[in-house]
Amino acid sequence: VERISALPVPEHRRQLLTSPSGIKIIDDTYNSNPAGAAVALSTLSQLQAQRKAVVTPGMVELGNRQSAENRRLGVDASLIADDFVIVGKTNRAALTNGARDGTARVHFVANRQEATEWVRKNLTQGDAVLYENDLPDHYP
């Protein structure tokens, strides 16, 4: 068990980092599924931070469950985070619909570059952000 706990966390899979400006980052951008997103949100909820944000384009390739699962992600994210940054248009409607059940401020950005800029402009030392998923460029 000791040796297992000493193994490095694979990159972009709930990797805990700190930015040069002191923002706590949970990098869960490798891919996303409902169970993994729930664990990442739980991790964010447990972090001590002045302000918390979730940045996500949502989840894809879930078949007929895609809309419902993204709505659920929107609900959960907006109950945990102060700010919910929705990236792109692919899951915007479902994520926004879910976010109505929470208290987070909802923001829309076109792509990951704008999302990164939003974080740099709006979060400061002592804040935390969860980057949940990163869709390939062929998703709008």
Residues 60-97 pLDDT 10s: 999 999 999 999 999 999 999 999 999 999 999 999 99
Q: Does 93 map to a domain?
A: yes
Query: How sure is the predictor about 117, in pLDDT bands with cuts at 50, 70 and 90?
Result: very high
Higher local confidence (pLDDT), 55 or 32: 55
Q: Does 31 map to a domain?
A: yes
Q: Does 2 map to a domain?
A: no
Q: Does 104 map to a domain?
A: yes
What CATH number has the domain bearing residue 36? 3.90.190.20
From edge to edge, which strands make up the β-sheet containing 83-87? 15-18, 24-28, 128-132, 52-56, 83-87, 105-109
Cβ–Cβ < 8 Å for 57, 131: no
Q: Does 1 map to a domain?
A: no
Q: Does 85 map to a domain?
A: yes
Quote the distance between the C-alpha of residue 81 and its chain's center.
Answer: 10
- In Å, the largest CA–CA distance within the chain is 44
Q: How many domains does the chain have?
A: 1
DSSP 32-72: --HHHHHHHHHHHHHS--SSEEEEE------GGGHHHHHHH
Does the pTM exceed 0.75? yes
Q: Give the residue numbers spanning the domain of 103.
A: 8-132
Q: Does 140 map to a domain?
A: no
Q: Does 86 map to a domain?
A: yes
The pLDDT score that the predictor gives to residue 138 is 53
